[in-house]
Structure 1
Amino acid sequence: MFERFTPGARTVVVHAQEHARRLGHHYTGCEHLLLALVSTDQPASSVLREHGVTQTRIEEEIVRLIGLGAGSPPFGSLDRDALASIGIDLDAVCARIEESFGPEALARAGKTGPRGSRPSRLDPRRGIPPGLLRHWRRRRRARHTLLTATTPASPGLHPATGARTTGHIPFTDRAKETLADAVREAQTRHDPHIGTEHLALGLLATKGGLVPSLLSALDASAPALRAAIVDRYRRAD
C-alpha cells in the first residue's frame, strides 16, 4: 500500500509516529495523523488551517483530552498485529533475532548455500514458515519505503517527560482503517497515487475516536472541510 503514497503522504505518516513519540504515546492514532497532516505545506493542509484546524489547536486538544504519556513502556512497543490471529508476533520475533544475530540476519539466513551444505540455524525453513518470512520481508520493504521522509516533524508544544518510545510505534486499528479509507478515496477518484488529500478525506470520514471530538472542539465541520478540500483539488486540476 505505502508504495503508492506520494512523498507528502509518506511524510505525514512518518511524522504522525514522531508526534506520538514526542507526546509519550505508545500508539499512533488518527489524532496523530491529523496533527501531522495540518503541519505540512500541502493544499489539503492549507484548507484545514484556513478553517481553524491548526497544529497548535489540535495539539492542545489532544493533550487536554488524553494527556501526555510517560514515555517508553517497560518492554518497548512493537507492531503486534502481523500474526495476531494465530498468536504470533512476527515483528517481535524478527526483532529478537536481529538483536541477537545482527541486522538482516534473516535475509542472510535465507540465502541458499552450497549444494549439500548444512542449513544455517537461522534458516527460515527451520523456524519460520517460508510464507511468513515472505510476509515479513514485504513488511520490511514497505516500512523502508515509508521511512524516507527527510524533513523532521514540527517540534510541537508538549514534549512528554521520561524516556521516549523507541522503534516502530504501532498504529491503532482505527488509524489503519483510516489509511485504508485513504486508499479507497483514491480509488473512487481514479487517482493513481495516494496523497495528503486522500489522507485528509479518510480522516474526515472517521466516525469514532478522537478526530470528531477534536473537530467539534475547534468548531470545524467535517462535511464542510471535506467539500472545501475536494473543491481545492478540483480547481487545481
Structure 2
Amino acid sequence: MFERFTDEARTAVVQAQEQARRLGHDHIGAEHVLLGVLAADDGVPGQVLRDLGLDRAALERELAVLGHADADALASIGIDLDAVRRQAEATFGPGALDQPRARRRGFLRRKAGHLPFTASARKGLEHSLRQAIALGHGYIGVEHIVLGLIPDDDTSTARTLQRLGVAPAVVRARLREELGRAAG
C-alpha cells in the first residue's frame, strides 16, 4: 500500500512518527497522523484544516494530556477534562500539563527505532486507500489520508476534530471539492 503514497503523503506519515516521539509517546495514533499532516503539509489538505480552524497547538495539547479514549471515558463518568486542565493550570501555571512525558528507559524498553501504529491509525491509513480507489485515483495523497482518518463522524479522529471545534463533515466536503477542482 505504501508504494502508492505520494512523496507528500510519505512525509506526513514520517512526520506522524516524529510528532509522536516529540510528545514522548510510544505509538503512532490516528491523531498523530493528523498532526503529521499539519506539520508536513503546506498543500491543500493542511490548508483546508487550518482554514476550518484546526490549530496545531490545540491538537498537540489534546494529544499531550490524555488520549482520546481516556478523555471520552472520563467524560462518560462526568469528568470534564477541560475543567481539570484549567484547575491544574490555575494551581501550577499555564501549560503545566503540556510537557511531554519522560520516556522510560530500561532493560526491556526500546530506546529508539520504529514506533508501532495503533489500530485506529492503521485503519485510517487503510481507509485512505479506499478513498483513493473510490475517487478513481491511482495514488494515495495527503488528502486521501485525511479522508481516511475521518470517513465518518464515529472515528476517534473525527471526535477529536469535533472537540477542537472542527466539523469532520465540512472537512470531507471541502477536500472532495478541492479534489474535484484539481481534476477539472
CA displacement at 1:76 relative to structure 2: 3.4
- Which structure has the highest helix share of the two? 2
Structure 1 counterpart of 2:30, one-letter code: C
Whether 1:179 and 2:129 are equivalent positions in the alignment is no
List gaps (5 residues or longer) in structure 2.
68-96
**Which residue is 2:53 aligned to?**
52
Residues 189-228 of structure 1 aligned to structure 2 (within 5 Å)? 189-205=135-151, 207-209=154-156, 211-228=157-174
Checking the alignment, whether the CA contact within 8 Å between 1:72 and 1:166 is kept in structure 2 is no
Where 1:8 maps in the other structure, the secondary structure is helix
Letter in 2 for 1:5: F
User: Could you state the TM-score of these two structures normalised by the residue count of structure 2?
Assistant: 0.75
Determine if contact 2:128/2:148 at 8 Å carries over to the other structure.
yes
Q: How many residues align?
A: 149
Among 41, 59, 70, the alignment partner of 2:102 is 70
Identity %: 38
Alpha-carbon distance in structure 2 between the residues aligned to 1:37 and 1:6: 13
Question: Is the 1:62–1:214 Cα contact (8 Å) retained in structure 2?
Answer: no
C-alpha separation in 1, matches of 2:104 and 2:4 = 31
Q: Which runs of 5+ in 1 are unaligned?
A: 78-164
1:166 counterpart letter in structure 2: A
> Mapping of 1:127-166 within 5 angstroms?
166=112
Question: Equivalents in 1 of 2:136, 2:104: separation in Å?
Answer: 41
Contact in 2 for aligned 1:29/1:174 (Cα 8 Å)? yes
What SS is found at the alignment partner of 1:38? Answer: helix
Partners of 1:234 and 1:9 lie apart in 2 by 19
The Cα of 1:73 is off from its aligned counterpart by 5.0
Letter in 2 for 1:50: D
Asked whether the equivalents of residues 185 and 202 of structure 1 are also in contact (C-alpha less than 8 Å), the reply is: yes
SS of residue paired to 1:179: helix
Q: Deviations over 1:8-33 (max 9, x none)?
A: 00001111011111111110000100
CA distance in 1, matches of 2:159, 2:63: 10
Q: For the pair shown, which has the larger CA radius of gyration, 1 or 2?
A: 1
Aligned partners of 1:8 and 1:195 also within 8 Å: yes
Counterparts of 1:61 and 1:24 in 2: how far apart (Å)? 14
| Deviation per residue, 1:101-132 (Å, 9 max, x gap) | xxxxxxxxxxxxxxxxxxxxxxxxxxxxxxxx
Q: Is the 8 A contact 2:147 2:172 kept in 1?
A: yes
**Larger relative contact order (Cα-Cα within 8 Å, sequence gap ≥ 6):** 1
Native 8 Å contact 1:4 1:193 kept in 2:
yes
CA distance in 1, matches of 2:37, 2:7: 13
Q: Please tell me the root mean square deviation across aligned C-alpha atoms, in Å.
A: 1.7
Matches within 5 A, 1:1-40: 1-39=1-39, 40=41
Partner Cα distance (1:7, 1:190) in 2: 19
Q: List per-residue Cα deviations over 1:191-220 (Å, max 9, x = no partner).
A: 0100001001011126243x2332122211
**1:186–1:173: structure 2 CA closer, same or farther, 3 Å change rule?**
same
- Does the Cα contact within 8 Å between 1:5 and 1:195 map onto a contact in 2? yes
Residue pair 1:26, 1:72 contacting (<8 A) in 2 also: no
